[in-house]
Structure 1
Amino acid sequence: MKKMIAIVSLLLVLTGVLSACGSDSKSAQAEEKVTVKIGLLKNVTHAPGFIALKKGYLQDGFGPNITIEVTAFDNGSDFSTALATNQIDLGYVGPGPAINQYLKSKNIRVISGSNNGGAVLIAGKEAGIHSVSDLKGKTVSIPTKGSTNEISLRLLLQQAGLQVTTNTSGVQLITRNPADTLVAMRQKEIDATLIPEPWGTQMVEEGSGVVLVDWDKIPPNDGNYPLTILMASDKFLKEHRELAKKAINANLEGINFIQDHPTEAYSLISDELKELSGKGMDTELIKAALDHLNLTQAVDLAVIKTMAKVSFDAGYIKGIKEDGLDLSEFIDLSLLDEVNKENK
């Protein structure tokens, strides 16, 4: 009997030790220090991300043991490559280059919307362009090949019966990042540009350009198309699902803050632009740009599919047939649904 009591006592002690070890393991996991690498572009169309950083929504959500590293990109192609190769974990980008990358690597996902619309077609003030049809034989700039802006431009040209060509029989495309596009328009190196705000507004206000097609007439869907989406790598989603949910919530907080406190948001956005690019922006320009944005978490799969078809027809999506344009897993809003339920 004494022997049995001794054995039971020993088992209880071992159970307590193992329980303590398990508790310590969970505690250690909770206290694990992680670096989250966030990417975004130097455009006002990424404003919710700017606010999420400047107001501390991301850091507060992640907690004190998480270090945030921010990388600014000049175009969405570089961002998408960095996300797919795990150089960054999550961030903001346009769907055009993200679609192209996804169909190559299948290891990045859309986890939330952020902004619909916010790009404009600007013509040089003295270029003699009064309609999209007048772009025949002209040179038009886009931020990068395969960008969301190029997709919108190609749709506009299709509507006018024009094609992208390398000669004057159609429309010639060149790539310039937004800051260089501003200079190119001043120097009349280009005739027009489809560009995200606030660059279009800046061209109009300085007198170098005029609005040819305003943001709410840009295809697809008359400006109500995803221009900025929140994405994450599969690796990050697998290893840090809860942190991804915190990022989604911080994005929503950024959207709400801009809508509820626009005046304060202008200066914060300018401050973040200065950190990312070395130069802030006049608050009136930021206000004009935000007036051209539809900030939203929503992501329209039908519009995304339309954009993918344009990229495919343009030759940016290679190695698959048209019936292989499967985007059913490109958008994963399950985390967004969880966040919205938790916020109710």
Structure 2
Amino acid sequence: MSSRTIRALAVAATALLSASLLAACGGDDEGASSSGDGGSAEASSLRLGYFPNITHSPALVGVNKKFFETALGSTKLETKTFNAGPAAIEALFSGAIDATYIGPNPAINGWAQSKGTGLKIIAGSTSGGAGLVVKEGINTPADLKGKKIATPQLGNTQDVALRAWLKENGLNADQQGGGDVSVLPQDNATALQAFAQGAIDGAWVPEPNYSRLILESKGKVLVDEKDLWPSGLFVTTHLIVTQEFLKKYPATVKKLLQGHLESLDYIEKNGADAQKAANAQLEALSGKPLKDDVLAASFKNLTFTADPVASSLFTSAKHAEDVGLLKPVDLKGIYDLGPLNELLKAAGKPEVSDAAA
């Protein structure tokens, strides 16, 4: 992402955020119940964003099984789906949604754009489920010289991961598709078709596309991203909320987290049924459920956890800086895990950390 683009995003995000704050100043009380003060008031509705993607399974299952609705009680749940992180961040900053499931790099960019005022990460959701799948004959990093590799979007989580890995292995890739390796950001459907037709040599993608490249197009794994992280854990999806909503309706946010934890617990204890629930929600949203083999492979490759794996977020930000896709940003304060840890402690479960290492 060029510096001009980053500046443009920052200006746009600041304007959107300002508009949101101004709107909040005039008539913001109508979103709260009449009981209690600002600290105990509950929102009349909560607008939750998520993606129609298997990496957002805690959201898919939570909506399908009505865990969020039950936990929120009198607060009405309104949902909105997105296909890309920047669109979700824009909706968050414009006041169109209050919270969303999202990947790490869009959250980092949103934090940077709003100068640390726009959002908080309040829980982890998903770890793992991404990597580089290539055609036969590519066995080492050196074999990628002169090859074409797809990623979902310039500057997105997988794009940053690929570029950082290439750099660590002595290969360069510029933002225009040049260099030792031609990195070609393209949407998932295009990448799947291009790989099947031989127009690209591989792709660094998340599930379910990671498994689809293997199962449907006979791709081979060159890099399973789990192998690059301590304990095999890195953040793929987490849950964020606007700071304004969190400050004004902490009780509502805690109920959202309660629904989130119930969804995670259901996935852990009811594997097969959880897969069916996630797939049913995908079908309801897109009209296209995943094939059984892709669904099973994707779930096997993902870890669903309330732990945000904070250390990996800080490392991802450093990777984005190293490859020129992010200006240095101070991420101190991006997490607010207090409400989550209260719920985990009450349930007798280990608390989670926001430590950078």
Alignment TM-score, normalising by the size of structure 1: 0.83
The Cα shift of 1:270 comes to 0.8
Q: Which has the larger radius of gyration?
A: 1
From 110, 118, 122, the equivalent of 1:111 is 122
What residue is the counterpart of 2:298 in the other structure?
Answer: 289
Could you tell me how far 1:157 is from its partner in structure 2? 0.9
TM-score (norm 2): 0.81
State the shift of 1:221 in Å. Answer: 3.7
Aligned to 1:189: 199
* SS of corresponding position for 2:47: strand
Q: 1:327 aligns with which of 320, 328, 331?
A: 331
What corresponds to 2:343 in structure 1? 339
Shift of 1:189: 2.6
Q: CA deviation at 1:168?
A: 5.3
Q: Percent identity, aligned pairs only?
A: 30
**Between Structure 1 and Structure 2, how many residues are aligned?**
312
Once residues 273 and 152 of structure 1 are traced to their aligned partners in structure 2, the CA distance between those partners, rounded to angstroms, is 26
1:203-214 to 2 correspondences below 5 Å = 203-214=213-224
Equivalent residues of 2:43, 2:252 under 8 A apart:
no
Deviation at 1:67, TM superposition (A): 2.6
2:257 matches 1:248: yes
How far does residue 220 in structure 1 lie from its aligned partner after superposition?
4.1
What is the distance in 1 between the residues matched to 2:336 and 2:108? 13
Alignment of 1:1-344 (within 5 A): 25-26=34-35, 34-63=44-73, 65-105=74-114, 106=116, 107-125=118-136, 128-165=137-174, 166=176, 169-217=179-227, 219-221=228-230, 223-318=232-327, 322=328, 325-344=329-348
Cα distance between partner residues in 2 of 1:200 and 1:112: 25
Which runs of 5 or more structure 1 residues have no equivalent in the other structure? Answer: 1-23
**Runs of 4+, deviation exceeding 6 Å:** 27-33
Q: Describe the superposition over 1:201-255 as per-residue Cα deviations: whole angstroms up to 9, x where unpaired.
A: 11211134222212422x3447411111111111221222112111212222111
Measure the CA separation in 2 of the matches of 1:164 and 1:342: 48
Paired with 1:185 and 1:177, the residues of 2 have a C-alpha distance of 12
> Per-residue displacement from partner, 1:77-99 (whole Å, max 9, x unpaired)?
22222223222111211101210
For the residues of structure 1 that align with 2:41 and 2:274, how far apart are their CA atoms?
Answer: 33
1:50: Cα distance to partner?
0.9
CA distance in 2, matches of 1:151, 1:121: 12
Q: Is the 8 A contact 1:266 1:283 kept in 2?
A: no
The two structures, once aligned, show a CA RMSD in angstroms of 2.4
Name whichever of 151-160 and 284-293 sits farther off. Answer: 151-160
Deviation at 1:28, TM superposition (A): 12
SS in 1 for 2:111: helix
Q: Is the 8 A contact 1:136 1:168 kept in 2?
A: no
The equivalent residue for 1:11 is none
- Tell me, in whole angstroms, the C-alpha distance in 1 between the residues paired with 2:61 and 2:302: 15
Q: Give the Cα–Cα distance (whole angstroms) in 2 for the partners of residues 176 and 42 of structure 1.
A: 18
Retained in 2: the 8 A contact 1:118–1:223?
no
Question: For residues 159 and 27 of structure 1, do their structure 2 counterparts lie closer, same or farther at Cα, with a shift above 3 Å needed?
Answer: closer
